[in-house]
Structure 1
Amino acid sequence: MTTPDFVLAPERQHRSSGSSSSRRRKRRRRIIFHSIFWPLLALLIIGSGLAAWWLATSALAVRDDLEVARAQVVAFQKAADERRFEELQPIADELDAAASSAAAPTSNPVWRMAELVPGVGENVRAVRIIAEGVDDVSQQVVQPASGLVGEFGISRDESGALDLEPLRTATDIAADAQDILDGLEADLAGIDTDATIAPVSDAVTQFADVVESAQGTLPGINAALAGAGAMLGIDGPQTVLLAFENNAEATALGGGPAAQTLLSVDDGTVKIDRQVSSTELDTQAPIGTEIDESADQLYNDILRTEINATTSRPDFPTAAALLRARWDRDLGITPNTVVMTDPIAVSRILEVTGPVSLPGGEQLTSDNVVSKLLNEIYFRYPEGGAESDAYFAAASAAMFDKMMAGDYDIWQMAQALIDVTNSGSLMMWTENEPTQDLFAGSRLDGTLPQTNLGATVLGVYFRDRSISKIDYYLHTGAKVTVDTCTPEAPTYTVEVTLRMDIPADLQFSLPEYIDSREPGAYRTEVFLYGPAGGSTTEVAVPNPANGTTTGPSVIDLGRPAEKYTVDMVNGQTAVVRATFAGTPDDAPVEVRTTPMINRTGVELVEATCG
């Protein structure tokens, strides 16, 4: 039997070459392309009979339903972004109706049989995967999420414990979303786009991009939900060590964690068990925790001996291990979870909660909390000691009570926590491995990426070595020149500027606790990290200020790391520089820095090729 002549093909080609080609170009940015179905119909009508007629009619119906679904997805995202939560359920219902209608024909045996037809089947299969994917997302993610999001809030049971059911539900929805997107990603990757017509190939590519984009946001969502669960004891009783960094004594992760609070959490019940200052911990005997040799080389023995140097390395698991080991050795307690934050994060959070009151009536606000906790307190209590420790303890307890009261907009708080996490001022580690795994890929885990997938991350970090709280007055900046003129061998030149800027009326009257152990002379260490898998090609000191030394140069955390020791006096500027060679798979540059009181300005410059 000979194959019938495909008499409609020329006509379809003629029709699609005119005005429809313009429509196709305009709609190519859409997830589901209006234009893929006409060429697909031309391929499907290879014979006569009811099956071919049904398949063609169904393809048109699927096209229309997916167009409606696409519009509803856009509307849902916009309403969610604008927090018009009352509109989410009606939009979700319309999306569900369209998505279900689109997916229904693709499960019919006729559709599935068409997937086996040479020259046609891969096109039909691709459309089915897209339709089923939209339906799965609608039913298992959008529908349940729309019902939850408008009601999500903070409530307590009769015992005063927080109700964790909304958190459990949200966690389950996010887990389902991850499973669905993982499956879709694999299915789309399995489509042979060499065997599909161009519009279908383009649709597959665009839909894969959407899935990839969603995959990029899910780790942060899952990490946030897992972190909230760990902080509230969703998996049962545990101890949480909450460490507050002092950014006036800078380290890579933020500052010395001299003020620490131990929490007991269990199924929504959270209480303060103990507040500890560095004076209660042995700061002389080294911690025996196993650490990479490269870390010992860069950060020397104080990483293990001095509590305020615990956060020297830009790797929160290292800091968490050292803190847990210190608590175990000195206090006989091994916290299950370690959380670290700083007054910079508190300032952002107070924008949402409003001011907190301390005993005696003093208020901490978003505008004054950094200054009061990191500078003014040392003028008030020049010797530090018990009085300043008591002040920090009172401030910590007041802020904790304010957070736990829940008298604020939960969505504004969620955004604030996202902001401080992305700026490096909130990190978390837990011994619960499934929960810790959910932190991977988010800034919450406080690590540098092991690859350059998605972003080529460079690091600019500082550590105070004046034994002071002088970094309240330190100003820093970084200029990064990206040279991709030879794509297979990109380079990154990182130039860092430091300037000590103490007001003239304070220069000779700073409290001893703020000023250096050698008054008027200040030492800061700078650590520059290159791209994962890269190497260092140049180390330079364009301006040594009062004296700058370099080294060691090591490979730390899977990337080249350079150390500079900079000595300055007030008013001086120092400049250090390193150039790193990257790898051919490098992505757009992202620069991470120590969260400084005076934020490190970062300038990205593209090298001129010529």
Structure 2
Amino acid sequence: MALRLFDRPDTMTVTGRLLRAVERRHRIIAALVPLTLVPIAVVGGLGAHAARTYTHLRRAADLTATLQHAVMSADPDEARALVAALRRETAAARHEVGGPGWRAGTRLPGLGVDLAAVTDVVTALDQVATDVLPAVLDTTHRLTGAGLPRDPTGGLSGGLTAAGSLDRAEAAARQAHTRVARIDPDALLPQLRAPVRTVQQQLDRAAALVSAGAALLRVLPAVLGADQPRTWLVLFQNPAELRATGGMPGAWMVVRFAGGALSIVEQGNANMTRPFDAPVLPLDPQLKALYGDRIGRFAANVNLTPDFPTAAALAAEMHRRRGGRPVDGAIALDPVALSYLLRATGPVTFRAGAGADGRLSSANAVRLLLSDAYTRPGSPAEKNDYFADAARAVFDTVVSGRLDPRAALSAVLQMAQERRLLLWSAHPGEQAQIERLPVAGRLPLRDEAGPNVGIFLNDGSGAKLNYYLRTTVALTPVACVTERNRRMLRVETTFTSQVPPSGLPAYVLGLGLAGDPYTMRLNVSLFAPTGGGLAEARLDGRQIAVASGFERSRQVSMATVDIAPGATRTLVALLDAGTAEGRQTQALTPQLWTTPTVNGWTIRTAPAPGPGQAPVTSTC
């Protein structure tokens, strides 16, 4: 699962994200407890316990808000004091619902189910405050060096030693999630159902967040060459010419980690690699049927598939065959990710050609690298060199240690959440840990926590027009009127072209494969939930035929969409949500995976209607 795929704050540390989720949970429970006061009043003194529980949780919510400020301002002493106060409040709330009177109330017919649910929610919150937050806070401070003697690695070595405590926090977060996951909201009072479902979702996300952090710390020492040097192929994806994982892999470099120190070994661009006569690695027949053998022959096409481990393995083998050294894995970044990293390094300067801007900052990086670099005069080779030199300037600054570790951690988290940072290891044990993280760039084989849907884009114009693309998507679960237990997903995606009607140079217009060189052509791949498939596809309201195949146990439907300058096209797909894990009768929130574009996606999602609820739409 991804760590908050649908709505992300721009600048939050890992602790800040968890604390924000915890604050929301406190507000939910603070609202939940008074709702139970009327029925509880008939059970004598339980009303007083409920009132005191409310008071403690309200104080806890206030402390959580203050704690967020302390974390963001890098005040570890204040943050630890606030965590201790928070623990006292959640422990007091837990005490109120743990007495014999309340326990007896949980065994009453009818009302007992509601009291037990409140008990489980309060207990889970106390476990998060006691066993999860302190460990996450400590790890974050160690990683960023906050409150520690200045470390030339930015506190990274200290953070790695905290992996054990985060492992324990992971177990506690999982226990808290399991405790509330066993509650059946449909068995509760109507007023409690929606709040409890929200608590379940938020604890699920918190557990996933801590689990991902623990997995990262388990694999990071090896990635950084703590025990032996490691060499990585870094691919710079160009989202002005989209590929499913983010963009055409243009510039690349090879970096070496040894004992946490980073050095650049070599660099180049995709034009240095001629097509191979045959795929460099054996291709799965289903993969070959979808993308042809070009995925294994052309360096620019290895990531037509959204599966980054497949793309990375092909790129690494191409690098080896062209005379490069064998690598331990591959990393992918794009200019948007570099702009995030520039928040930590500050502006950098580099050698630029005549008329080019050689000063790169977080504010101008995307425009310079994906627009200005292509519209100014110069040969294709000079444009590729400009991109490569800019990327090297950023990495040289990182290597020199001239960066803010807290801002760097925040940047890395944002890159990972948006899947602008991807990682693959050639070592199976490491790769198993990486696949628990969003940086794996891989849809799960099974949809255990809810249906996963993928919308992935490949440029079909042979041009660099995708800088001007704007995308929105609405993902809505629907229940069919005629088949009430059948769960469907309606996916409405709009593509808007802001390509100017004239004035672009030939290098940007490229091959013009859509006919009109200013018309953008997108090849859209829609990945259905496991066990499901496409029921219908419409483009601008008219039903269309699509090509289809399978990749990693999912049906893949492919449609070509041409977008004239200034135009908007709307693709609507109705997907069967599948039958895996009994999902036909569960109200689960779908998860959406998309190709990272220059401007990101505007995304709207909604939870599925629960049993007995009216369907969102009768169209099936």
Both structures adopt the same fold (TM-score exceeding 0.5): yes
Distance 1:69 1:94 in 2: 11
- In the TM superposition, what is the alpha-carbon distance from 1:225 to its structure 2 partner? 4.1
Distance 1:258 1:140, change over 3 A: same
Contact 1:490 1:582 in 2 (8 A): yes
Match of 2:144 among 136, 150, 153: 153
Aligned to 2:206: 214
Task: Specify the structure having the higher radius of gyration (Cα).
Answer: 1
Contact 2:132 2:173 in 1 (8 A): no
- In the TM superposition, what is the alpha-carbon distance from 1:96 to its structure 2 partner? 6.1
SS in 2 for 1:555: strand
- In the TM superposition, what is the alpha-carbon distance from 1:594 to its structure 2 partner? 1.9
Distance 1:466 1:163, change over 3 A: same
Aligned to 1:534: 532
Contact 1:468 1:514 in 2 (8 A): yes
Aligned to 1:8: none
Count of residues in correspondence between the two structures: 557
Distance 2:592 2:598 in 1: 17
SS in 2 for 1:565: strand
Contact 1:154 1:406 in 2 (8 A): no
Aligned to 2:311: 319
Q: Which amino acid aligns with 2:455?
A: V
Distance 1:180 1:307, change over 3 A: same
Distance 1:209 1:29, change over 3 A: farther
Matches of residues 266-305 of structure 1 in structure 2 within 5 Å? Answer: 266-305=258-297
Contact 2:67 2:83 in 1 (8 A): no
Matches of residues 111-150 of structure 1 in structure 2 within 5 Å? Answer: 141-143=132-134, 145-146=136-137, 149-150=140-141
Query: For 1:72-104, what per-residue CA distance to the aligned partner results, in whole angstroms no more than 9, with x for missing partners?
Result: 754553334223533222234446678899999
Match of 2:557 among 555, 562, 584: 562
Query: For 1:136-186, what per-residue CA distance to the aligned partner results, in whole angstroms no more than 9, with x for missing partners?
Result: 766654445555655653599999656533221342322111123345566
Distance 1:421 1:95, change over 3 A: closer
Match of 1:494 among 491, 494, 512: 491
Distance 1:136 1:467, change over 3 A: closer
Aligned to 2:32: 29
**Mean alpha-carbon deviation: is it higher for 376-385 or for 125-134?**
125-134
**Mean alpha-carbon deviation: is it higher for 427-436 or for 239-248?**
427-436
Contact 2:142 2:156 in 1 (8 A): no
Distance 2:125 2:198 in 1: 13
Q: Which amino acid aligns with 2:288?
A: D
Matches of residues 25-174 of structure 1 in structure 2 within 5 Å? Answer: 29=32, 74=61, 77-82=64-69, 83=72, 85=75, 86-94=77-85, 141-143=132-134, 145-146=136-137, 149-150=140-141, 152-153=143-144, 164-174=156-166
Contact 1:72 1:91 in 2 (8 A): no
Distance 1:103 1:344 in 2: 45
Return 5+ residue gaps in structure 1 as ranges: 1-24, 44-59, 105-110, 194-202
Distance 1:400 1:88 in 2: 32
- In the TM superposition, what is the alpha-carbon distance from 1:322 to its structure 2 partner? 1.3
Contact 2:144 2:155 in 1 (8 A): no
Distance 1:78 1:444 in 2: 29
Distance 2:508 2:298 in 1: 17
Contact 2:152 2:401 in 1 (8 A): no
SS in 2 for 1:402: helix
- In the TM superposition, what is the alpha-carbon distance from 1:516 to its structure 2 partner? 1.9
- In the TM superposition, what is the alpha-carbon distance from 1:245 to its structure 2 partner? 0.3
Contact 1:72 1:94 in 2 (8 A): no
Aligned to 2:458: 463
Distance 1:306 1:147 in 2: 46
Contact 2:125 2:176 in 1 (8 A): no
Aligned to 1:10: none
Is structure 2 residue 441 aligned with structure 1 residue 446?
Answer: yes
Is structure 2 residue 573 aligned with structure 1 residue 578?
Answer: yes
Match of 2:374 among 353, 375, 378: 378
Contact 1:355 1:365 in 2 (8 A): yes
Contact 1:382 1:512 in 2 (8 A): no
Aligned to 2:595: 594
Contact 2:480 2:488 in 1 (8 A): no
Distance 1:557 1:170 in 2: 35
Distance 1:594 1:280 in 2: 26
Distance 1:183 1:40, change over 3 A: farther
Contact 1:476 1:601 in 2 (8 A): yes
Distance 2:166 2:256 in 1: 27
Contact 1:65 1:102 in 2 (8 A): yes
% same residue: 23
Q: Which amino acid aligns with 1:249?
A: E
Q: Which amino acid aligns with 2:499?
A: I
Distance 1:274 1:99, change over 3 A: same
Query: For 1:275-332, what per-residue CA distance to the aligned partner results, in whole angstroms no more than 9, with x for missing partners?
Result: 1211333423333434433322222222111111111112111112211222232235
Is structure 2 residue 419 aligned with structure 1 residue 424?
Answer: yes
Query: For 1:358-400, what per-residue CA distance to the aligned partner results, in whole angstroms no more than 9, with x for missing partners?
Result: 1267211233222221232233354312x23332221111111
Q: CA RMSD in A?
A: 5.1
Q: Which amino acid aligns with 1:494?
A: V
Contact 1:562 1:578 in 2 (8 A): no
